Each structure stands twice: as structure tokens, then as C-alpha cells.
Amino acid sequence: MSTYKKIPKAKGFDNTIRLKNEGYPFIPTIMSDLHTDIFQTRLMGKKIICITGKEAAKLFYDPEYFIRHKANPKRIQKTLFGVNAIQGMDGDAHLHRKQLFLSILSEERLTLLREIVRTKYMNAIPKWKEKEQVCLFTETASILCESTCEWCDVPITPQDARIRSEQFMTMVYAIAQIGPKYWKGKSARKSTEEWIESVIKEVRSGRRKPKKESALYQISNYHDLTDVPLTDRAAAIELINVIRPIVAISIYIVYAALALHEHPQYIDLLKVPNDPYYNLFVQEVRRYYPLGPFLGARVKKDFKWHDYLFKEGTLVFLDAYGINSDPSIWKSPKVFSPENFRDWDEDEFELIPQGGGDPATGHRCPGEGITLELMKDTIDFLVNKIEYTVPPQNLSYSLKKIPTLPESGFLMTNINKRL
């Protein structure tokens, strides 16, 4: 008869309120209190196992042990991902759908998107110069929305891009909300799906003819493993899953601007465009500043890990926030230091703000490369293309808020083109 170690339990019958009150540090704090890298608790009445560390990440992304089907709560599907989207797929169906996204996000296509974004940044300078102040978060979200829609061949005006970018970010910030803020996120999701679905229908009826290499064309004409096309709504959901994450890079852009402001000693190292230091700086921004607190999956079949029993169907959370600040991985993890990545071997399970493992075959975000390059381009823009002043403002961010962001959104004044 097999014997198993008892998984440590967090105090309290249900810790939903504690999670709401603590936010990002919820899992790391309990891990520290219990002196463990695994514990069980209940959230919203459901039993959940929480795990942390590099070895836990390797386990979590092993398809032999974990699946994503039914791992994302309906409330997240109805705001962030969309119902029955790629994030909840497994096996051959997931790999087949993943190839669609990888073709859309090819190196050649990424180069085009970067060119569009850089052009729109430069075109924004005269407009920003005339404004008393500019909110970097709002402006970059709008530019990324307009640029990505243009790149996808989805029609949009600059005015509509402001509205749609706000809807995309409302969806992102609704995931941990209750009451009116959550319903606002659901409403934004509904409006966005209806908009994109109408564009999909135009393509399928022949009224709109997008470029064959565009995301709009690829998704409109995609067939699943059974050679069945996606429904209009499902196609809209997956096209949104291309656009929304790119718009959400505006969060990391604000963090990058904050890092430049709080650590100006790195600016001189970034004055040479495409310098290798850009990669160190961008990766450290992604490691140091919080994005997602944890990631979810369900146990595929009963198995034993470190003598603990994981039962089929159990929901498991991987402590992404804790791993990104794990002292066994990162030297001085509470200090912002791009040197963390000087000799980094790009281990797939050490830096996981956008998931772990192989993006081509697993559940790591296929758009991670886009995130890195657009962050680099924006830093180059802030350092080498414009001059600006950072006025007094509230740049603090609360770890209780999921996801979080500097309160002011990073305000800038006295913007001029750098000569």
C-alpha cells in the first residue's frame, strides 16, 4: 500500500478573503509561514494545491501530469480569455491551434508590427508636445491597439482605438474584481466580441478581403483537426487573443518607464539602440515588476511528486510571482538589477511571467517575443527619441490589486523630440 506525505494546509477553512486582501504575496507568504514549497487551501470553496519553485514549474508544464481544460474559472473566461479559447485546450487540439498563433506571430510578421508601432510613436510626438501632460499607459495602449489592428487587417480609426484599448484593458483588470468592476469587464468583453465577430462575418461573406498573411484572414479561414472552421464567435475570441495581449504590453511599458525613472543609472547603457543591454533591462523589468500572481491547471491523472499525492481533477496554482522573486534562482531578488540576466541561460522555468516551457509546444505565451521586442522599441523611444519631464505624481503600485499598475499610469510633461 502506497504511503504519501500530508500536504501542509494553510490556516482557515477558506482563504478567498485573505487572497483578496493580500494579492500577489498571498502564496509566497503562506509558503514562508509553513516553511514549504507546497500547501493546500480552499478558494471560493474549492480545494486548491499551491506549488512554487523551478522544479514545481517543470512539473506544472508537463502535459503528462497537467491539463488546462476547465482550469480557468468561467469568470476569467468571460472577461480575459473568452469562453473555450486556446488557453483551455490540451493535446493535439491545442498544438494544432497553437500553430495558427505561431504562424500569425512569425518573425517576418513581428518585424512589420514593430515598424508600424515605431512609426506611430514618432507620429505621436507633435500631438504629445501640445498636451499639458500625457499618460503613458493610456497613450501606449491606444497606439498598440491601433497598430495591432492595422497589422491584423482589422479596420479601426485612431479615435476608436482609444475606446477599444480601454475596453481591452478593462477586460484585463476585471479578472480579480467583484461587483460593478467585474460586470464592466464582462460588458467590455461582450462589446469587443460583437465588434470583431462582425468583421469576421464581413470576411466570410466576401465583403472584406484581408491580406492572406494577416491574422484576420488566417483566423477567418482556420479549420480545426476535424476540418471544421471556427464559429464566427470562436474566431472573434481567438482574434481578440491576438490583439488584447499586445495592447496589454502597455502595462510592461509603464513598468519600464518607471524603472528608467527610479534607476537612471541605466539610461546611459541604453543610449545605443539594439545594444545587448536592452535584453538584460527588459527581462529584469518582467522579473521585478508584478503582472500575474499565479497560473492554474488541473491534475490529469493521479500521481506522486515529492511523496505528495496529486489526485485527478485537482486544481493547482503555480506561484509565478514567487518564482520571479525566488532567492534560490535570483541574486538579491528584491533589488532591481538587469545584471541578473548577464549570464542567464534562458531557462524556460525560471522566468515565467508569461508562462513556462516551450512556447511552440506548451502553454507558454506564443507572443512573448513580441512583448520583448515592443518593450525594447519603446525604451529606445523614451531614451533616444524624446525628452520629457516626470512631474510629481503617485507612482506607487499596490500588491493587493491584481493585476496592478502605478497609480498615475506614468504622467509625462514637456515632451519634445530629441535632436
CATH number of the domain within which 130 lies: 1.10.630.10
Q: Number of folded domains in the chain? A: 1
Q: Is residue 274 part of a domain?
A: yes
In a domain, 7, yes or no: no
Would you say 133 and 413 are in contact if contact means Cβ atoms under 8 Å apart? yes
Would 85 be classed as within a structural domain? yes
Is the pTM here over 0.85, yes or no? Answer: yes
What order do you get walking across the sheet with 386-389 strand by strand? 134-135, 411-417, 386-389
Q: Examine residue 396 and state whether it is found in any structural domain, yes or no.
A: yes
Backbone phi and psi for residue 111, each to the nearest 5 degrees, phi listed first: -60, -40
- How many CB atoms are located within 10 Å of the residue 252 CB? 22
Question: Residue 377 domain-assigned?
Answer: yes
Residue ranges making up the domain that contains 144: 16-417
Q: Is residue 92 part of a domain?
A: yes
Q: Is residue 10 situated within a structural domain?
A: no
3 lies in some domain: no
Tens place of pLDDT per residue across the chain (419 aa): 468 899 999 999 999 999 999 999 999 999 999 999 999 999 989 999 999 999 999 999 999 999 887 767 666 665 666 665 656 566 777 777 878 888 899 999 999 999 999 999 999 999 999 999 999 999 999 999 999 999 999 999 999 999 999 999 999 988 777 788 888 888 999 999 999 999 999 999 999 999 999 999 999 999 988 888 999 999 999 999 999 999 999 999 999 999 999 999 999 999 998 889 999 999 999 999 999 999 999 999 999 999 999 999 999 999 999 999 999 999 889 999 999 999 999 899 999 998 888 877 777 888 899 999 999 999 999 999 999 999 999 999 999 999 999 999 999 999 999 98
Q: What angle do CA 123, 366, 370 make, to 5 degrees?
A: 20
- Which H or E run includes 388? strand 386-389
Residue 350 to residue 48: CA distance in whole angstroms: 23
